[in-house]
Amino acid sequence: MTIIGARKISYWVSGALVTASFLALALWGLRLGIDFTGGSLLEVEYAPSAGGERPSSDAIAKTLASIGLPDAVVQPVGERGAILRLPSIDEARHQALLGELSKFGKLEEKQFTSIGPTIGAELKRNSIYAIGLVMVMIVFYIAFAFRQVSKPVQSWKYGAAALVALIHDVSIPAGVFAALGHFYGVTVDTLFVTALLTILGFSVHDTIVVFDRIRENNKKFSAKGAGSSQALGWENVVETSLRQTIGRSINTSLTVMLVMLALYFFGGASTKLFALAILIGVFFGTYSSIFIASALLVSWNKWSLRRT
């Protein structure tokens, strides 16, 4: 079976994944971090003299509740560290909190960040604008870059196919993080937005490479004639182009994924979720470039021929 010949299977698989992602987002939503909601973040690390390990998360949570912070989230980091996500606190409560935590043993404050709710709301709004603007500009760029292509698929359809692929590539990581937030308390921050923008750029780059090869091959041996023979010729052009570029796409993606795997397993706690988002996005971005975006051009052309 050819790649294009299996496009209905790809559509069903992607449709199921995207539908599940949208359901997760609708039911649970993304659990926003303090970057978007406002609040304070405190990272501490206990010295080996304290026994070599941090206190349990439950013990820290009880301490936080005893000083009026029952909604705080405790995230273990390594063997001795912990990240505490709190409502906004002033410097006096910050020092009081450090005093309570130091009762478990000697500790070092790694970082303390506080963001007001107004700034958080502005960051949230700007992040949505940034993702939307990037997707719109990508569509216009592809339509412009392929403006001299008119047969058998108009240039704007290349942009539309790329947009569908981009929605596919962004929605799946977002759905995964919605599920992680619901079941494991994982929050998203501006680094997650950075990951989504990176995924968009990587995915569209891979898609453009395939589209450009389709354009070149179409000039060389696009089928002549009309009707079903024309549709079959166009399908062969797209299939040949995919087979010529699939090795490059997979090798490039594997290179990025290997780096992200190293960052996930050996990097700091603050970059683990970023690496995970990139891993998911690059995987499905490569998948959509091969099995979705180009296949849509074939399906669109066949649909247009049936109407004529």
Give the three-class secondary structure for 38: coil
pLDDT band at residue 18 under the 50/70/90 scheme: very high
Q: Are residues 207 and 246 in the same domain?
A: yes
Among 115, 143, 166, the domain boundary falls at 115
pLDDT of residue 81: 85
Q: What is the mean pLDDT of residues 101-115?
A: 86
pLDDT of residue 24: 96
Q: Is residue 49 part of a domain?
A: yes
pLDDT band at residue 235 under the 50/70/90 scheme: confident
Report the chain's mean pLDDT, rounded to a whole number: 85
Q: Is residue 233 part of a domain?
A: yes
Nearest CA-CA partner of 173 in 260, 249, 255, 72: 260
Total number of domains in the chain: 2
Q: Output the domain CATH number for residue 135.
A: 1.20.1640.10
Q: Is residue 2 part of a domain?
A: no
Q: Answer whether residue 227 shows pLDDT above 60.
A: no
Q: Is residue 1 part of a domain?
A: no
Among 115, 134, 156, the domain boundary falls at 115
Among 115, 133, 149, the domain boundary falls at 115
Pairing status of strand 81-86 against strand 73-77: antiparallel
d(CA 206, CA 250): 10
Q: Tell me the pLDDT tens digit for each residue of 23-78.
A: 999 999 998 887 787 788 888 888 876 455 678 888 888 888 888 887 788 888 87
pLDDT of residue 119: 67
pLDDT of residue 5: 87
Q: Are residues 159 and 290 in the same domain?
A: yes
Q: Are residues 128 and 78 in the same domain?
A: no
Q: Are residues 126 and 185 in the same domain?
A: yes
Give the helix/strand (H/E) hosting 82. Answer: strand 81-86
Phi and psi at 177, nearest 5°, equal -75, -30
Q: What is the mean pLDDT of residues 224-231?
A: 46
Q: Are residues 12 and 128 in the same domain?
A: yes
pLDDT of residue 293: 92
Q: Are residues 26 and 152 in the same domain?
A: yes
Q: Answer whether residue 218 shows pLDDT above 50.
A: yes
Q: Are residues 82 and 111 in the same domain?
A: yes
Q: Is residue 254 part of a domain?
A: yes
pLDDT of residue 229: 40
* Domain membership of residue 198 as a residue range: 7-33+118-307
pLDDT band at residue 149 under the 50/70/90 scheme: low
Phi and psi at 82, nearest 5°, equal -155, 145
Q: Are residues 295 and 218 in the same domain?
A: yes
Q: Are residues 25 and 141 in the same domain?
A: yes
Q: Answer whether residue 306 shows pLDDT above 80.
A: no
Nearest CA-CA partner of 159 in 14, 297, 39: 297
Q: Is residue 245 part of a domain?
A: yes
Q: How many residues does the chain have?
A: 308
Whether omega for the bond prior to residue 87 falls within 30 degrees of 0, making it cis, is no
Q: Are residues 179 and 292 in the same domain?
A: yes
Burial zone of 266 (CB within 10 Å; 0-12 exposed, 13-18 middle, 19+ buried): exposed
Q: Answer whether residue 281 shows pLDDT above 90.
A: yes
Q: Are residues 151 and 91 in the same domain?
A: no
Q: Output the domain CATH number for residue 73.
A: 3.30.70.3400
Q: Is residue 227 part of a domain?
A: yes
Q: Are residues 47 and 122 in the same domain?
A: no
Q: What is the pTM of this model?
A: 0.81
